[in-house]
């Protein structure tokens, strides 16, 4: 393979809180040639042990929160590009090369727009809340997105230059707001969205989780 055709160096960051059951399938689906960092975000199960057994880098982030975990993983990466996705099996890491291929001059981030592949993959209340927030981003900030991007590929240095973002569930929204204010080029592409393969969602799986996420989102806005 010539250098021109070589795959770009990407670190795949997978923030995890108690994802020992789903993580083996997620790691097995990561395309060959990518470095993987699993961020163990104060898990009380065997998440860290499962990741270590798979031979990937494990970063411990004791401060609870999705944003804290993502930030720890991005800081630990050393490649120009990073991809971020959940560790619950709802998203396919095999989508990363296609998304990364959209990066180029004028494009700083490629965001995945979730398309549920089965009924029940995306609860109606979570889908509705996501649609409302995405509409705010389009109308107020001119960002051409319809989803808060549960999977994304972006330029690491540009991300770090945004400074501290939200430490919890508000992180994806804070990232998109920061991208809009910084003048990033953002494109959105459809990705398959499936039911998580193990356990219950920390956000949409309970009324408490949903209420906490709503509070976090509005604190960002």
Across the range 164-172, mean pLDDT stands at 93
Average pLDDT, the chain: 90
Question: CA 176 to CA 137: how far, in whole Å?
Answer: 8
The pLDDT of residue 209:
62
Domains in the chain, ordered, with CATH? 7-220 (3.90.550.10)
- What are the pLDDT digits (tens) for 41-63? 999 999 999 999 999 999 999 99
The pLDDT of residue 58:
98
Query: Which residue did the predictor score with more confidence, 176 or 216?
Result: 176
Q: What is the DSSP string of the chain?
A: --GGGSPPPEEEEEEESS-TTTHHHHHHHSPTT-EEEEEE-S-SSSHHHHHHHTT-EEEE--S-SHHHHHHHHHHH--SSEEEE--SSSSS-GGGHHHHHTT-BTTB-EEEEEEEESSTTSS-HHHHHHHHHHHHHHHHHH----SS--SSEEEEHHHHHHT----SSTTHHHHHHHHHHHTT--EEEEEEEE---SSS--TTTTSHHHHHHHHHHHHHH-
Pairing of strands 152-155, 81-84: antiparallel
Q: What confidence tier does 33 reach under pLDDT thresholds 50, 70, 90?
A: very high
The pLDDT of residue 2:
38
Query: Which residue did the predictor score with more confidence, 117 or 214?
Result: 117
CB 181 within 8 A of CB 103: no
- What are the pLDDT digits (tens) for 2-25? 344 455 699 999 999 999 999 999
pLDDT at 220 exceeding the cut of 60: yes
From residue 93, alpha-carbon distances to 2, 39, 83, 118, 178 in Å are 25, 16, 9, 18, 25
- Report the percentage of the chain scoring pLDDT > 90: 76
């Amino acid at each position: 393979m010539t250098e021109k055709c070589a795959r770009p160096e990407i670190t795949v960051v997978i923030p995890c809180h108690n994802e020992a059951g789903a993580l083996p399938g997620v790691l097995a689906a990561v395309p060959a040639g990518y470095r993987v960092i699993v961020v163990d975000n104060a898990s009380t199960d065997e998440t860290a042990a499962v990741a270590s057994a798979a031979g990937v880098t494990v970063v411990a982030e004791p401060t609870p929160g999705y944003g804290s975990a993502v930030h720890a993983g991005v800081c630990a990466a050393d490649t120009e590009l990073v991809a971020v996705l959940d560790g619950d099996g709802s998203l396919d890491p095999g989508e990363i090369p296609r998304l990364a291929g959209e990066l180029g001059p004028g494009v700083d981030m490629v965001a995945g727009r979730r398309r549920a592949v089965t009924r029940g993959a995306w609860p109606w209340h979570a889908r509705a809340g996501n649609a409302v927030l995405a509409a705010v981003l389009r109308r107020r900030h001119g960002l051409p997105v319809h989803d808060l991007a549960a999977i994304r590929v972006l330029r690491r240095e540009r991300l770090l230059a945004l400074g501290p973002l939200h430490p919890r569930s508000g992180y994806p929204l804070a990232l998109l707001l920061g991208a809009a204010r910084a003048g990033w080029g953002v494109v959105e592409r459809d990705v398959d969205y499936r039911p998580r393969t193990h356990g219950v969602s920390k956000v949409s799986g309970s009324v408490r989780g949903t209420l906490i996420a709503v509070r976090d989102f509005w604190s960002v806005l």
